[in-house]
Amino acid sequence: MTAWPVDQPSPLWMALSRERFEAPELRGDIEADVVVIGGGISGLATALELARRGRKVVLLEAVKIGYGASGRANGQVISALTRHGPAAIRTLWPGERGERFIALVQGAADTLFTLVETYGIDCDARRNGWLQPAHSKGRARRVAGLAEQWAAAGAPAAALSAREMEARLGAGGYHGGWEHRGGGHINPYAFTLGLARAAVQEGVSIFEESPALRVERDGDTWLIETPQDRIRAPKLALATAAHTGNLWPSLRRSIVPVTSYQAATEPLGELAERILPGDEAASDTRMDLRYFRKDRDGRLVSGAALAVQLGAATRLPALVARRLREMFPALPHKPMAFFWRGRIAMTVDRLPHLHRREDGLCAWIGCNGRGLALACAMGPVLADAIDGVPDDQLAVRPTEPPPVPLHAITSRIARLILPWYRFKDSREI
C-alpha cells in the first residue's frame, strides 16, 4: 500500500474535529479471520460490518486514520452517482442485478447517517439535503429527468426551477436543477475517526503506521508483512483506493488516481446566512465540477481541479475564490484561508467495481468523487463478498479488474483533459 505523504497541507477538518482516535503500531505476529488494508471510510465500514458478524478482524493503516482521501474530502453526502441514474443502471444491468444496485445507491446516505446516530459520531452532520444546480438549459432538462427517476426509486428527490434554485443557493446564474433531501454534509475527517472508534468498540483491532509492504498466499492463508511484524488470515480485503500500489497490480491498473483540491474561506459572519440559507450541500452539472458547502462556523468550503499541478497551493485557492465571487459578489476580496488536497480513484465507466478472487482476496474500488456515502454502503457488500455470498446475490456483481488502456501514460496525463471539459461546459446550451 502506498502511504499518504504526511507533509501535505492538513485539511481544515482536522482543526475542527472533536473526535479523537489513536491506535498502536503492529507489534508481534498475530492471526485473524480477515485482514482489511486501508483505514479510510471504505476499510472501516467493511471491518465494522465483519466484526458485527462475529469475525476477528484486523485493520492496517499505513499512516494515521483519516489521513487519506476520506479525511480530505469536501464532505458532501450524496445518494446518487456522477453519471448514471436508475434508467442507465437498468440498461446496463437489467433485472434484479440493477435493482439491487439502485437500492444500494439510493440508501447510501441513510447508511452513513445511521452510523452517525448509532455510534454517536460527532462530525457536524447536517442532513438538510443536496442540490445539483444546472449550468445550462439542456442540463436542467436532463437532471429533471434524473430527479423523476430517483423519486420513482423511492428517493426524496424533486426538480427545481431556476427561481427555486436561486433561492436555495443564494445565487443566480443557474437554470434550475434538482434536490435530494436525503443528502447533506459532514466533517469527513471527524466521521472517519468516529467510525474507527466504532469499529474498535465492535472488536476490530486497528494498527496505525503499519503499512502492508507485501502480501502473499501461504497455503490456505494470506501472509501480510508490515515493517514491524506479520499477520496471517484466510481472507484479505483491500480498501486502498488511489493508494493501492503493488499489493494487487491489476487492481491498481484498473483506476486512474486523480488529485482533488479543496479550499475554504474564513468564517463569513452574517453573510453566511445568505449563502445556502438552508445549509444544504451543492455540486453543479459541469464536467469541470463546481461545488460548495458551509462548515459549522460559516466558512464556505469549495474546490476545483487543475490541469497543471505546478503551483497548486497558490493557483487553486485563487481559482476557487474567483469562481465563488462570480456566484456570490458580496464575498470579501480576500485569499482563501485554507487549502488541502487528496487523491481519489476514478474508473473509466464512473461506476464502483467489486472484485473477488478464489484465494480469498477481495476489494471494491472507484468512488469517483462520491465516496463518503458510497463507501459506507459498500462496506456490507464487501463483507458479503468476503463471507462467500454468491455473485448473483451481491448488490454489485464481482468482475475482474478491467485494465485502463495505456495505464502508465493515462494516469499521468488524465488531468490534461480538463481544458476540453471546460470548453464543453462553455458550449452547452
Place of cell 445518494: 79
Contacts 24+ apart (CB under 8 A), 89-98: 93/397, 96/392, 97/392, 97/397
Q: Between 108-119 and 188-201, two packed helices, what is the crossing angle to 10 degrees?
A: 60
Q: What is the pLDDT of residues 188-230, one digit of tens each?
A: 999 999 999 999 999 999 999 999 999 999 999 999 999 989 9
Q: Does any domain span residue 232?
A: yes
151-175 pLDDT tens trace: 999 999 999 999 999 999 999 999 9
The domain tally of the chain equals: 1
What mean pLDDT do residues 128-146 have?
97
User: Is 27 a member of any domain?
Assistant: yes
What phi, psi does 77 have (nearest 5°)?
-105, 110
Q: Could you tell me where the DSSP H helices lie in 274-427?
A: 312-327, 371-386, 407-413, 418-427
Q: What is the rounded distance in angstroms from the CA atom of residue 214 to the CA atom of residue 428?
A: 48
Cell of 78: 450524496
- Rounded distance between C-alpha atoms, residue 132 and residue 168, angstroms: 11
Q: What percent of the chain has pLDDT over 70?
A: 98
Mapped onto helix, strand or coil, the DSSP state of residue 148 is helix
pLDDT for the residue numbered 411:
83
The pLDDT score that the predictor gives to residue 418 is: 85
C-alpha cell at 338: 485554507
Separation of alpha carbons 106 and 116, rounded Å: 18
**Residue 254 · residue 401 · CB < 8 Å:** yes
Query: Which of 337, 335, 341 shows the shortest CA–CA distance to 321?
Result: 335
Among 21-25, 135-139, 194-198, 243-247, which stretch is predicted with the lowest mean pLDDT?
Answer: 243-247
Amino acid occupying residue 27: R
Q: What share of the chain is helix, strand, coil (3-state, %, to 5)?
A: 35, 20, 45
Please list the residues that pair with 273 across neighbouring strands. none
- Domain of 32: which CATH number? 3.50.50.60
Residue (of 111, 31, 90, 406) closest to 253 by Cα position = 406
Block residue for cell numbers 433561492: 167
Give domain status of residue 225, yes or no.
yes
What does the pLDDT average to over 117-131? 98
Closest alpha carbon to 70 in 221, 239, 304: 239
Which structural domain, as residue segments, surrounds residue 292? 12-413
> Which pLDDT score, from 0 to 100, does residue 423 have?
87
**Any idea which residue has 487492481 for its cell?**
251
Lateral strand order in the sheet of 214-218? 30-31, 230-233, 221-225, 214-218
In a domain, 276, yes or no: yes
What integer is the mean pLDDT of 263-274? 97
CA distance 109 to 185: 10
- Residue 419, in any domain of the structure: no
Question: Hey, is 362 helix, strand or coil?
Answer: strand
Instruction: Please report whether residue 427 resides in a domain.
Output: no
Half-sphere CA count of 312, side-chain side, radius 13 A = 19
Q: Is 197 helix (H, G, I), strand (E, B) or coil?
A: helix
Residue 407 binned pLDDT confidence (cut-offs 50, 70, 90): confident
Residue linked to cell 440559507: 277
Rounded to 5°, the CA angle 217-222-227 comes to: 105
Q: What integer pLDDT is reported at residue 233 of this predicted model?
A: 98
Using pLDDT thresholds of 50, 70 and 90, give the confidence band for residue 415.
Answer: confident
Buried b (16+ CB within 10 A) or exposed e, 306-339: beeeeebeeebbebbbeebeebbeebeeeebebb
In the block, cell 474530502 appears at 73
Task: Tell me, yes or no, whether 428 lies in a domain.
Answer: no
Q: Is 79 helix (H, G, I), strand (E, B) or coil?
A: coil
> For the chain, how far is it from start to end, CA to CA, in angstroms?
44
Look at residue 149 and tell me if it is in a domain.
yes
What cell does 114 get?
Answer: 445511521
Taking a C-beta distance cutoff of 8 angstroms, is the pair 177, 285 a contact? yes
Closest CA to 148 of 165, 137, 160: 160
pLDDT at 42: 97
Q: Which pairing describes strands 34-37 and 157-160: parallel, antiparallel, or unpaired?
A: unpaired
385, pLDDT greater than 60:
yes
Average pLDDT, the chain: 95
pLDDT confidence tier of residue 1, bands split at 50, 70 and 90: very low
Angle between helices 371-386 and 96-106 (to 10 degrees): 130
Which pTM does this prediction carry?
A: 0.96
Confidence grade of residue 406 (pLDDT, cut at 50, 70, 90): confident
- Under 8 Å CB-to-CB from 295, ≥6 apart: which residues? 12, 16, 124, 187, 264, 301
Asked if residue 4 has pLDDT above 60, the reply is no
The pLDDT tens digits for 284-333 are 999 999 999 999 999 999 999 998 889 999 999 999 999 999 999 999 99
Q: Which helix (H) or strand (E) holds 343?
A: strand 338-346
User: What pLDDT is recorded for position 3?
Assistant: 43
Residue 2 has pLDDT above 50, yes or no: no
